[in-house]
Amino acid sequence: SEGEQKLAAEAGLSLAVPTAEVFARVNSKIYSRRLVEASGLRAVPGHCCETADEFLAVLQQYQDGSTLVVKDAYGVSGKGLVVLDTRAKVDGLAKLVRRRADRSGERRLHVVVEHWLGKRFDLNYQLTVARDGTITFDFVKQALTEGGVHKGHLMPVDLPRHHQEELREAVDVVG
């Protein structure tokens, strides 16, 4: 964080990690979507929106009645999610975003809009890229939630072999 950077600087210590700016950039769902799209990994159908106008244009495209989810680019553990499962909700959110942008003059908006996919559970996985470029798949864990609130993780995760292989491939691609 910026606070940790400031503390380290005042103490004369160098950080062993990237800057807070780098952490913020790579923790964005927009960064992640673009990484997935550029790498050819399987992606949830959706769009990155960095302005109110982009967001409104994306919402205009959806006329088929499918359920959408709008995710705050920096939200975690289900926070900052809006599920749009009716046309009235799509229209209501569009009106709210348009009104906010028009009143404030602020057009920036950092969200992703994705098709809602059914799921069994959420997975988190971690990789390490060493200074020499070696890529290591560290672990995969299942997120435990209750009512959308993060409660912890379960390891190991009971995944079919083909899903484990897809995760390992993604680690190699991302790394």
Dihedral (CA of 75, 121, 69, 137) sign? positive
- Helix 29-39 to helix 161-174 angle, to the nearest 10 degrees? 100
Model confidence, pTM: 0.78
Structure confidence at residue 13 (pLDDT): 93
Q: Position of tokens 């994306």?
A: 58
Structure confidence at residue 77 (pLDDT): 63
The alpha helices in 16-160, defined as continuous H runs, are 20-26, 29-39, 52-61, 87-104
Summarised one tens digit per residue, pLDDT across range 53-85 is 999 999 998 877 789 999 999 877 667 789 999
With a CB cutoff of 8 Å and minimum separation 6, the contacts of 47 are 54, 58, 112, 113, 114
Using alpha carbons only, what angle is made at residue 68 by residues 66 and 74, rounded to the nearest 5 degrees? 170
